[in-house]
Amino acid sequence: MKVVVSVGGSVLAPDLEPDRVADYATVLQDLDDRGHTLATVVGGGPTAREYIGTARELGANEIELDQLGIAVTRLNGRLLIAALDDRAAPTPAESYESGREAIRRGDIPVLGGVVAAQTTDAVAAAFAEYVDADLLVYATSVPGVFDADPNEDADATRFDSLGADELVDIIAGMEMDAGSNAPVDLLAAKVIKRSGIRAVVLDGTDPERVARAVADDEFDGTEIRPGA
């Protein structure tokens, strides 16, 4: 199975503690050993937010802030590359094309951000579409897709499964509320919908959840069904 695993920066490197990155590398190596074709996309997390906050105070414009965010996603990507050793492409792929070339060589590509004005959620969806992945896994800091922001609403309920068109409607509603924590952003949801790729959103604080979602199709999270 060809799988794109998107790991949020707040999940992979919340405080630059090495064990989480090493645990992700172990899970990815195990899936690689089982014959799956893998690609990863890594987010910027709190480190990106710190850099962006400081640069904003220094007067950087929004595109400059995005470029800074992209740089941090690639720094986080280099942590995962270090842990994956010779299975990973040696540098973060800076384009979808170079990521696809890495797969063709038999390496695991590690992508960060690609272009300003989006997030790595969208990168993961677009890359999954580009390489015709069978599955897209979002390892995030929330345990799935809810009908409301679970941080704000005690009655928020998690979906076990929903159609890609429903995902777009839910995320569009959430993004109308300033400051809400959508599990994936709207651009990503729209690319998931048009690509017809099956996606899973799960709590990435335990990388074993990613392993189960890929290897055994058992997961504790939300499945996004294509074409529904």
Q: What are the residues binding ligand UTP (CB under 6 A)?
A: 8-10, 43-45, 48, 65-66, 69-70, 73, 113-120, 123
Structure tokens at 213: 């979602």
Nearer to ligand UTP, 35 or 179 (CB): 179
Nearer to ligand UTP, 36 or 56 (CB): 56
| Least gap, CB of 104 to ligand UTP (angstroms) | 22
Nearer to ligand UTP, 180 or 225 (CB): 180
Structure tokens at 203: 């709590």
| Least gap, CB of 35 to ligand UTP (angstroms) | 29
Question: Residue 177's CB: how many other CB atoms inside 10 A?
Answer: 12
Nearer to ligand UTP, 10 or 213 (CB): 10
Nearer to ligand UTP, 140 or 164 (CB): 140
